[in-house]
Amino acid sequence: MTIVVDCRMIDSSGVGVYLRGCLPFFLQSKNNILLLGNARFIRSYIPNENVNVIECNVKPFSINEFFFPSKVAKEINKADAFFSPFFNIPCGITIPVYTTIHDIIFPDMPELSTRVGIAVRMWFFRRAYKKSRKIFTVSKFSKSRIEHHLGTEKPVIVTYMAILPMFLDYKANSQNVQKNETIVFIGNIKKHKKLDCLLDAFHRAKSEGLPHRLIIIGSGENLRTSDKAILRKIKKIENGALSFTGFVSDEKLMEYLSTAALLVQPSLYEGFCLPPLEALVLGTHALISDIPVLKEIYSDYPVTFFRNGDSNDLKEKLLGLLYNRTSSSPVLSDELLSKYTFQKTSSTILKELE
């Protein structure tokens, strides 16, 4: 069987991790795998130099996807199946399509966009649903929301996210890591990430003598005028107690996580939410909101939940964890380490495609 895998988003955040995690297992299968994207860029992620690539530099969700090069479409249509790790599908594809929808946040949280923005995104969601033979997603929660908004006519199959092997390698090669007085938040400043809740909790904790710094792994440069409330909360925090890292490499991300005293993830909405798992693997405690999807994913793991959106409860739990001197670094059992793996995820995807 010949499968085309759309790799044009291989360097993005969540979608890219999902894709990079699955690709090695796709290539180890008995199938003929064709990778769609920039050949030089794709091969930097793939150890096998003999990977077959369909050269394509058309950007996902661009106008050019609707005028997809006929030469590229012709090559794709010689295959047996087309797998997209996201919900954008180029025009001109006539073979069976299989799509991953990681979450469907915009109709669930319409305050994140304008009416026009939501309408455009829903058009893409519905188009992907209509054109796909099967849909993959990353949690039971996302499956339920996809079926709620798009229907139950198509199979929606849960294929969980997982951590990349380099996190396990980093842990194995890092001995006697010294913990810093740092708290880490990973993500952007969009409302559903609830950075404002963390800022409130952190400011109160600092007023009670907390010595730790807050490191936001992400960029502060894209704070818009509409984010005045967050800007005010940032300004209330003493100079030097908070910093934005901007873009960081995988190596630097693992360093921040492994040396942090705590990861805090106060999200209102997620499809899976990978940072707590990455933190736990690297021996760092995770304090996360008790939203349904995080309860689904992490109920068996040694995490601490706080009441969603409750900055006072977050502050109390944060202080409790950081001042608990007898609390050792979390260690995951083999059972928990093997609960979410890209081997399982890719095996499920390939089985459904075959």
Q: Map out the domains of the chain as residue ranges.
A: 2-162+341-353, 165-337
Taking the whole predicted model, whether its pTM rises above 0.75 is answered as yes
Helices 342-353 and 14-28: angle between axes, nearest 10 degrees: 70
pLDDT on residue 344: 97
* Pairing between β-strand 156-158 and β-strand 262-265 as defined by DSSP bridges: unpaired
Question: Could you tell me which residues are beta bridge partners of residue 37?
Answer: 55
> Do 186 and 265 form a contact (C-beta atoms < 8 A)?
yes
Residue with tokens 């979450």: 103
pLDDT on residue 44: 83
> Do 330 and 280 form a contact (C-beta atoms < 8 A)?
yes
Q: How confident is the model at residue 12 (pLDDT cuts 50, 70, 90)?
A: confident
> Do 346 and 25 form a contact (C-beta atoms < 8 A)?
yes
CATH class of the domain at 2-162+341-353: alpha beta
Mean pLDDT across the chain, nearest whole number?
92
Stretch among 181-190, 215-224, 264-273, 333-342 having the lowest mean pLDDT: 215-224
- The helix/strand/coil state of 94 is coil
Task: Give the contacts of 131 (CB within 8 A, at least 6 positions apart).
Answer: 89, 93, 97, 99
Give the integer Cα–Cα distance in Å for 208 and 204: 7
pLDDT on residue 225: 44
The CATH homologous superfamily to which domain 165-337 belongs is Glycogen Phosphorylase B; (3.40.50.2000)
Give the integer Cα–Cα distance in Å for 53 and 75: 10
Stretch among 101-105, 108-112, 140-144, 310-314 having the lowest mean pLDDT: 108-112
Question: Could you tell me which residues are beta bridge partners of residue 83?
Answer: 5, 98
Letter for the amino acid at 158? V
pLDDT on residue 236: 77
Does 2-162+341-353 match 165-337 in CATH topology? yes
For residue 85, the 8-state DSSP code is S
Angle (CA) 253 301 295, round 5°: 95
* Pairing between β-strand 285-289 and β-strand 156-158 as defined by DSSP bridges: unpaired
Length of the chain counted residue by residue: 354
